[in-house]
Structure 1
Amino acid sequence: MHKSLLSASLFALALAAPLAHAHDAGDIIVRAGAITVNPDADSSSVKVDQGPLAGADLGGKATMSSDTQLGLNFAYMLDSHWGIELLAASPFEHDVKLKGTALGAANGKLGSLKHLPPTLSVVYYPLDPKSAFQPYVGAGINYTWIYDEHVGSEASANGFSNFKAENSWGMAFQVGADYMLTDSVMINAQVRYIDIDTTATVENNAVAPGTRAKVDVDVDPFIYMVGLGYKF
């Protein structure tokens, strides 16, 4: 009798344990970890758009450095397969450099800028919701807020000032996976691609009064994040 009850209990636990891993409707998932933005920047040539030299093409390209910060995800499950997710992070800071321009003094580090990349996505989990391993794909929209642009000390000494970059709207795509360590705790890894386009401008009155140059930059970063999550 006792053996029968023990066997029945173990069988019930075996059936119940996988169910505890399920992402269900109404679940809230919070993830945090290290997130790296790696720009795959491709830019137009640098052109003078204001001042007596307007229309001059200085050639060259703009590049941006990578940065790693604290990343945060907040997800709400609509059912066991579909969810809505918001990406947030502490501010990223990138160095902006120019290379190959006809104006030699412009080459090198122009300055730096910060940005925040809030991204709202719909995510889909294709596997059985009882599985501890939950890969997913997602797509959504990103708004990149660029701020705190400033010219570097060397560029400033060469007459550059008033560095600005426009904010950006764009599509975002991701793949990722959760692995449930307990009923609530998970490890997570994800990769994103975000369409970020901006136009940057900088002034240089040392070249000629009223001179301003601009460059269009397709930032288009790949974003990598690893961390832990908790399901409420």
Structure 2
Amino acid sequence: MKKTIAITAAAAAMLAVSPAAAQSTDGTADRAGTMQAKVLMTGVLPDGEIDTVNVDAIGVPAGTQTTASDNVVPTLAIEYFLTNNLSIETICCVTSHTVSVNAGALDGAELVENALLLPATVTAKAHADLGPIKPYIGAGVAYFIWLDQDVAADAAGLGATDVNLSDEFGAVLQAGVDIPLGDSGFGISLDAKRYFIDTTATFYAGSATALETEHNLDPWVVSGGVTFRF
């Protein structure tokens, strides 16, 4: 909670600089009231390490640590410009991950597979006009929704029959650049986000909780693609 409050305070400080860039310096058309759609290829790079073990009824070996797999997926972003230099953006994608052991006696064992994540995200972005280059910074909130997850074979071998990953709120910081291609509304975009969000993994043996661990997800999400403003 303290981490989320600190990130929110930093976001407010960043967005406070937006009035200084209130006017376009390169003569571009007024963006206030317009929308921008982005079609991107996105790399989702989570951490996945264990932060806390709450329940351990199966005797996980000391030193066990986990990681979540990376993934590359298509992403759609929709952005609305409140003013020339302030916008609101949301993204849509679904990404799949595997959680496996990367340290300890169980190194290499897969615990969770086909973990489908919908990272619902809304950010506020402050833009600057530097000629044809239009950098921005942003901050916002996210809600990670796990649509599905399965017990991997190695976890099943330890006696797990089901697994649940908790949906969680968190914060996100963002930076990137939009580069218009002429006056047609088309352009290219590069974007990077860092999320600060966790999840609790609960493994069941029948109806009993066999293992419950809290994990730092904190993914980097990096994107590049094409844009169209209308």
1:98 equivalent among 98, 101, 111: 101
1:71 equivalent among 68, 75, 80: 75
- SS state at 1:155 partner: helix
* Counterpart code for 1:145: I
- SS state at 2:179 partner: strand
Match runs of 1:48-127 below 5 Å: 48-49=55-56, 53=57, 58-59=61-62, 60-89=64-93, 91-100=94-103, 104=106, 108-112=109-113, 113-127=115-129
CA distance in 2, matches of 1:95, 1:173: 25
Match runs of 1:81-230 below 5 Å: 81-89=85-93, 91-100=94-103, 104=106, 108-112=109-113, 113-127=115-129, 131-183=131-183, 184-204=185-205, 210=208, 212-230=210-228
Report the equivalent of 2:51: 44
CA distance in 1, matches of 2:147, 2:126: 33
TM-score of the two chains, using structure 2 as the length reference: 0.79
Q: Deviations over 1:72-104 (max 9, x none)?
A: 111110111111111211x100001134456x5
Moved over 6 A (4+): none
Q: Deviations over 1:135-182 (max 9, x none)?
A: 000000011101211012343344322111101101111101010012
- 8 Å contact 2:198–2:217 — kept in the other structure? yes
**Cα RMSD (Å):** 2.3
With over 3 angstroms needed to count, the CA separation of the structure-2 counterparts of 1:160 and 1:150, relative to structure 1, is: same
* Counterpart code for 2:35: I
**Count of aligned pairs:** 202
Larger radius of gyration: 1
1:28 aligns with 2:28: no
- SS state at 2:128 partner: coil
After TM superposition, give the deviation of residue 109 of structure 1 in Å. Answer: 0.4
Query: Tell me, which stretches of 5 or more residues in structure 2 are unaligned?
Result: 1-25
After TM superposition, give the deviation of residue 211 of structure 1 in Å. Answer: 5.1
Q: Once the two structures are aligned, what percentage of the paired residues are identical?
A: 25
After TM superposition, give the deviation of residue 42 of structure 1 in Å. Answer: 2.8
* Counterpart code for 1:81: N
- 8 Å contact 1:46–1:58 — kept in the other structure? no
- SS state at 1:163 partner: strand
* Counterpart code for 1:194: Y
TM-score of the two chains, using structure 1 as the length reference: 0.79
Report the equivalent of 1:12: none
